[in-house]
Structure 1
Amino acid sequence: MAAQMTGPGAKQPTINDVAALAGVSKKTVSRVINRSEFISEKTRTAVLEAIETLGFVPNPQARALAFRRNFLIALLHDNPNAQTVLNFQQGVLDAIKDSDLALLVRPVDRGSDQMLDDVRTFLEKQRPIGAMLLPPISENDDLAALCDQLGVRYVRIGSAPLDDAQHCISSNDHDVVVEVCRKLIALGHRDIGFVRGPAGFRSAAEREKGFHEALAEAGLKLDDAYYAPGNYRYAAGVEAGEKLLSLAKPPTAIFCSNDEMAAGVMRVAHEKGISVPGQLSIIGFDDSPTATHIWPALSTVRWPIREMGVRAAQLLVPDFLGPVGKAADEEDPAALVSTFIERQSVAPPGR
């Protein structure tokens, strides 16, 4: 079919024109435009050819009105680690780049008594198709229930399963920390320090649980002095480093619950003249850019947060982006595996 001539004075084609040319109903044209999976390939092809022939451009406002939602998906977060938010956001943008969807990013205050009311107001005003909830607010069951009540699709991101498979993308923080600590123990480390994540974060709890399990498995019980509080920020790592490396018998290895804090510990080690990894091994978690920007390069756990963003978007709006894909070696596309990345910050004790 030849394309219809258009110009300044030409009448703009309508959805009714497309339906008439394709020999289908206006509702069917709308379903094709909105990428519904409940359309035969023959019908889809006929409608798309009619759209191309007429030069029809769908009106996003009209589509949103018909859909009763704006073509938006929201990312809600209250996370102290800006890099985590940025990496997840990039994954979402990777997923939606060829669609008509746009991303809204909304920080919230999980410590506020008004959090649920604020989120309700935001969702009612913006009318997104769905919302992705980053930890730690993803662990709030009342927030998930609010999305359900408002008819807003939601996906919760976690370090362990938080919901049914239709509403959750998770990683295996506990298991990978067990694996990493086994490696430290196999190298000969017995005095191993641990820098905790912030209280109330499931990720922090899962990582600490994995640490305890690995030590118990090896018959090791460490003094409480080898544990330091943390909050996923660099300054907390500096404080933890001062505490642990000022002990009369400091640890020979320190596992930090994220890379920012590991960088803080490494700074203190350098200031005290402690060789890394000759006298002290350090491991982080995330595999953020920080891990390769410090010296020596940090051994860490690669948390697949960008891939989690891709999967979360696909799980949230499969009618726009297609079904959730998975790698050939994965059993569950909603569960992504974290992996240990060995660099130069780990060695046997006293090397």
Structure 2
Amino acid sequence: MPKPTPDDANAPKLTINDIAALAGVSKKTVSRVINQSPLLNQATREKVEAVIRETGYTPNPQARALALGRNFLIGLVYDNPNQQMILNMQRGALEALHGTEFELVIRPVDRGSAKVMDDIRSFIVRQRLYGVIILPPLSENDAIARICDEEGCRYVRMGSAVLDDPEHMVVSNDRDAVAEAVRHLIQQGHKRIGLIAGPHGFRSAKERREGFELALSEAGISLPRSLVADGQYTFESGVSACESLLDLSPRPTAIFASNDEMAAGVLYAARLRGIEVPDQLSIIGFDDTPITSRVWPPLTTVRWPIVAMGRAAALKLIGTAIGEGHDVSEPSTFSSTLIRRASVAPPPRD
């Protein structure tokens, strides 16, 4: 049988049986090569791969899915009010999946629902997912990881602290990054610094608050309860929390908001009261979303590498399937960094 070339427009579409015949192996052997099975010797694998390259053969994705018992779908499961974070996570995952057989399927859920675990299990089973990326705060629930294991579905959890084995994690250094941000305020001379915390039950909110408190403790600065306001990672909660802090007497000279949406709310609330930023109030946020460089003054913030984290999470799931040996021997740890802009200045003189 002559070997058709990839640019032969008149050649019939090759099948897995054709590749088996050309390579002198069984159909099952070709299937094992395509599906990256370890049950082959290297010489046989290389012989089949050479035929696939020479002929330009493209495996049938439906047939592969049937053989694997899975579709080429990666699920993204979340319940998070920070929509920019969700968008950035999608962007990173899609970058990793580009040019592969895999597609991304988005699934928002309600973590407060009594049926949330059933909903997640149903999503995995119904879509026959190859793998799933779990975003915080859902990722902090070990029961979801157990569901994935029970259903034979690969998973990666995203978090602000290590929650699982390295192959199942991408993690950021929120605590250290926030401590650096607050040290920057202290170096500018601020001592009365307000905190707008994230939602209760979010590990990211806990890690960021601990970083905030660590920097104050290092500098010997106390943190009265009145200087801590609760937020929900939304613009509106940032406005409300800021108003409560600005009602204090004396009011804070700087505010750290646990995400950029709330930091933008702080800027809005300060403007409503005629408080100049940064001359009368310094502001720092967290995320480095586009809004931070589009408001005036541009907001100092902590750059959270969420796109890179999304890309890494997807690659952890599909690396073996696409034939790239991505290293998962250690947690994929990503460092957040302080981005200094015009919203921070020394405090006003008394």
Task: Classify the TM-score, shorter chain.
Answer: over 0.9
Give the alignment partner of residue 323 of structure 1, picking from 316, 322, 325. 325
Shift of 1:134: 0.2
Partner residue, 1:177:
178
TM-score (norm 1): 0.92
Helix, strand or coil: the match of 1:166?
helix
Deviation at 1:219, TM superposition (A): 1.3
CA distance in 2, matches of 1:13, 1:350: 75
**Which of 343, 347, 350 is the matching residue for 2:348?**
350
Query: Does the 8 Å contact 1:99/1:320 carry over to 2?
Result: no
* Alpha carbons of structure 1 residues 290 and 41: separation in structure 2 relative to 1, 3 Å: farther
Superposed CA offset, 1:287-314 (max 9, x none): 0111111111110001111100111111
SS in 2 for 1:278: coil
Distance between the aligned counterparts of 2:321 and 2:55, measured in 1?
23
C-alpha separation between the residues in 2 aligned to 1:155 and 1:125?
19
Measure how far apart 1:42 and its partner are: 6.1
Q: What code does the residue aligned with 2:245 have?
A: L
Give 1:167 shift.
Answer: 0.9
- RMSD (CA atoms): 2.2
Q: Which residue of 2 aligns with 1:336?
A: 334
* Structure-2 separation of matches of 1:109 and 1:308: 23
- The match for 2:284 is 283
SS of 1:282's partner is: strand
Give 1:165's aligned amino acid. P
Alpha-carbon distance in structure 1 between the residues aligned to 2:56 and 2:221: 71
Aligned to 1:230: 231
Identity over the aligned pairs, expressed in percent? 53
State the match for 2:168 in structure 1.
167
Instruction: Please name the residue that 1:117 is paired with.
Output: 118
**CA distance in 1 between partners of 2:327 and 2:291 (Å):** 29
CA distance 1:220–1:69, change in 2 (3 Å): same
Separation in 2, partners of 1:176, 1:332: 21
| Residue aligning to 1:76 | 77
One-letter amino acid matched to 2:213 = H
Q: 1:236 to 1:221 in 2, by over 3 A?
A: same
Aligned to 1:47: 48
Query: Conserved in 2, the CA contact under 8 Å of 1:315 and 1:323?
Result: no
Change in CA separation of 1:347 and 1:42 when aligned onto 2, cut-off 3 Å: farther
Query: How many Å apart are 1:55 and its aligned residue?
Result: 5.6
Deviates more, 1:212-221 or 1:166-175: 212-221
Q: CA deviation at 1:20?
A: 1.2
Shift, 1:60, TM fit: 1.3
From the superposition, tell whether residues 48 and 230 of structure 1 become closer, same or farther in structure 2 (CA, over 3 Å): same
Q: Report the CA distance between 1:104 and its aligned residue.
A: 0.7
Comparing 235-244 and 40-49, the one that deviates more: 40-49
Query: In structure 2, what is the equivalent of residue 101 of structure 1?
Result: 102
| 8 Å contact from structure 2 (residues 165, 331) kept in 1 | no
Shift of 1:30: 2.1
Determine the C-alpha separation between the residues in 1 that align with 2:270 and 2:9: 70
Amino acid across the alignment from 1:117: D
State the match for 2:301 in structure 1.
300
Amino acid at match of 2:68: F
Query: How far apart, CA to CA, are the structure 2 residues paired with 1:193 and 1:58?
Result: 58
> CA offsets per residue over residues 58-81 of structure 1, 9 Å max, x none?
221111000110011111000101
Paired residues of 2:213 and 2:223 also in contact (CA < 8 A) = no
Structure 2 length as normaliser, TM-score? 0.92
Please give the residue correspondences for 1:87-98 in structure 2 after superposition, counting only pairs within 5 Å: 87-98=88-99
- Give the Cα separation in 2 of the matches to 1:91 and 1:224: 38
Residue 325 (structure 1) shift: 5.9
Could you tell me whether the CA contact under 8 Å between 1:37 and 1:319 is conserved in 2? no
Confirm or deny that 1:194 pairs with 2:195.
yes
**SS in structure 1 at match of 2:182:** helix
Matched-pair contact (CA < 8 Å) for 1:244–1:251: yes
Query: 1: CA distance between counterparts of 2:84 and 2:41?
Result: 42
Measured in 1, the distance between the counterparts of 2:327 and 2:44 equals 25
Greater CA drift, 332-341 or 173-182: 332-341
Contact persistence 2:258–2:285 (CA under 8 A): yes
The 1:295–1:62 alpha-carbon spacing in structure 2 relative to 1, beyond 3 Å, is: same
- 1:49 to partner: Cα distance: 4.7
The whole-number CA distance in structure 2 between the counterparts of 1:35 and 1:289 is 40
Give the structure 2 partner of residue 23 of structure 1: 24
Give the whole-Å Cα distance in 2 for the aligned partners of 1:272 and 1:129: 52
Q: Structure 1 23/307 Cα, relative in aligned 2: closer, same or farther at 3 Å?
A: same
Shift of 1:12: 3.9
* Structure 2 residue runs without a partner (length 5+): none
Q: Which letter maps to 1:350? A: P
Q: Distance in 2 between matches of 1:287 and 1:37?
A: 43
- SS for the counterpart of 1:110 is coil
Q: How many residues align?
A: 345
CA–CA separation in structure 2 for the residues paired with 1:182 and 1:202: 22
